Amino acid sequence: QYPQAVGGVKVTGVRDLGTGLDTRQPEQRAVLPWTAGDMMLTLYFEGDGVLTLRASATEPKLKYYLEVKGTDRAAAEALASKLEAAITDELVQPQTAGIKMRGQ
């Protein structure tokens, strides 16, 4: 199940390179090369935000890349802040797996 929203921002598309899904494509299939089980998920947001989550290939950690656009710098920074604040709590959810964040 993919999120419908993150930080109150609507998800408008999903690309999962572990399943070959890309909801933005006419046939719902990823255009990028993919392999079953790959851990790379991209969420597209209302307001021109893109979040890609992927497992590190060399370390036991999750990496993410967040890109936003806005009508101006303040709008872009507000969208980025809203999404970044929700990534850990809503998507990663370390507390459900008993994982402690650095510094805790």
Say whether pLDDT at 104 is over 70: no
- pTM score, whole prediction: 0.88
Is the distance from CB of 64 to CB of 53 less than 8 angstroms? yes
Question: pLDDT tens digits, residue range 54-80?
Answer: 988 888 888 999 999 988 999 999 999
Instruction: Give the SS3 label for residue 39.
Output: coil
9, 45 in Cβ contact below 8 A?
yes
Residue 99 clears pLDDT 90, i.e. is over it: no
Backbone angles phi, psi at 8, to 5 degrees: 80, 5
The number of residues in the chain equals 104
pLDDT in tens, 6-51: 999 999 999 999 999 999 999 999 999 999 988 999 999 998 999 9
